[in-house]
Amino acid sequence: MASEEFKRVQQSWLENAIHNEKYCDAIFVVGKERAKLFGFRGLLANISPVFEAQFFGSFREAVNIRDEIEYPTISPNVFACIIRASLNLDPNINAENVMELIQVSQMLQIPQLQKECSRYLENNLSVDNVLFVLNAGYCLNSLNKKFYKKSLRIALKNATSMISNKGFYSLHPKLLIQFLASNCFKVKEEHLWHACVKWAQNVVDNELTFKYDHQPSEHNDALNHNYAVWQKSLQSSKDQLSLRQQQQQQQQPQQQQRRDNRQHQQQQQQQQQYHQHRHQHNSQQQHQQQQQQLHQ
């Protein structure tokens, strides 16, 4: 059994590895920020059949290890959790990334990480982080009704502290309306007014945008989950793959023509060799016949 000190050293080695491009064989460009993250294909494929198909399947992408693989709709923070999990490092789950991490781990078919996220929610949901979790889940359309009601109950029960929480200033407008319309949301009007002004100012300052077609689902499973995030994330790399396939298809007639030309040349050479051989053979026979006639 390795000592705790040596385990810490091993962890520092891994931490160093994922921050050095030269050590890794996978380069990812992630999120709107186009952040560059580095990982190891074999280790990622080991935890996810999606990565296994992507890196080692018949339609594998980015064969060259210097090729960049894009995931434009996955947050860098969340994708970093996936990479860390593949390296046996703490994925660093927190209130701000847990809901998206649940969704992405489901898309990548990593049930163990999804289970760990659920365990985090069960053990760490509190007054301090409930708005971050609730808002993230709502915006991602990944809330089931049971968890939604539980989170909403905690938030409404602690309304006074909620309106001064940072998470309040980034709430989806529909969630904010639900809070304001609830009989359980009991705060002084003056405090509520100032909180709503701060919310509006934050939306303007940070240019926040929202979608308005989300509804909590009855169950949060693979059958009714919103797969749009993962599909969009792969779209860029699929487009690159499609382009390569088109280029290959365009090259196929040229390659076939070159093969046909080589085959034709080989056939001509074989025919020439055959005729030369026949000519030599006939010449030898004629010479032998002439020699025999002379001897006679």
| 3-class secondary-structure state, position 281 | helix
HSE, side-chain direction, 13 A CA sphere, residue 215? 4
Residue 247 has pLDDT above 90, yes or no: no
Alpha-carbon span 140 to 100, nearest angstrom: 7
CB 107 within 8 A of CB 229: yes
Give residue 60's pLDDT: 57
Instruction: Tell which residue, 148, 141, 134, has the closest CA to residue 106.
Output: 141
Which residues lie across from 71 on neighbouring strands?
A: 30
Q: Per residue in 11-31, pLDDT tens?
A: 999 999 888 888 898 999 999
Separation CA 126–CA 115 (nearest Å): 19
Distance of CA 295 to the CA centre of its chain: 90
Q: Is the pLDDT of residue 86 over 90?
A: yes
Report the 10 Å Cβ neighbour count for 240: 16
Buried b (16+ CB within 10 A) or exposed e, 147-180: bbebbbebbbebbeebbebebbbbbbebbbebbe
Share of the chain above pLDDT 70, in %: 81
pLDDT score at 38: 93
Query: With left for phi above 0 and alpha for psi between -120 and 50, is residue 92 left, alpha or beta?
Result: left
Residue 47 tokens, joined: 């935890």
Phi, psi at 269, each rounded to 5°: -65, -40
Residue found by looking up tokens 């163990």 in the block: 112
Question: Binning pLDDT at 50, 70 and 90, where does residue 216 land?
Answer: low
User: CA gyration radius for the chain?
Assistant: 33
Task: Tell me the per-residue pLDDT of 25-83, one tens digit each, with 9 for 90 and over.
Answer: 899 999 989 999 999 999 999 999 989 888 887 655 555 666 788 898 899 999 999 99
Q: What is the pLDDT of residue 236?
A: 52
- Whole-angstrom distance, CA of residue 73 vs CA of residue 75: 6
Distance CA 45, CA 56 (A): 8
Confidence of residue 243 (pLDDT cuts 50, 70, 90): low
**Closest listed residue to residue 225, CA positions, set 116, 117, 99, 71:** 99
Share of the chain above pLDDT 90, in %: 23
What is the value of pTM for the model shown?
0.62
Q: Detail the DSSP E strand segments found in the chain.
A: 26-30, 35-39, 68-71
Predicted confidence (pLDDT) per residue in 157-214, tens digit? 898 999 998 889 989 898 888 888 888 888 898 998 999 999 999 888 888 777 765 5
Closest CA to 50 of 271, 238, 201, 206: 238
Least confident among 212-221, 246-255, 278-287: 212-221
Q: Looking at 120-129, 194-203, 283-292, which range is the least confident one?
A: 283-292
Q: What is the pLDDT of residue 143?
A: 67
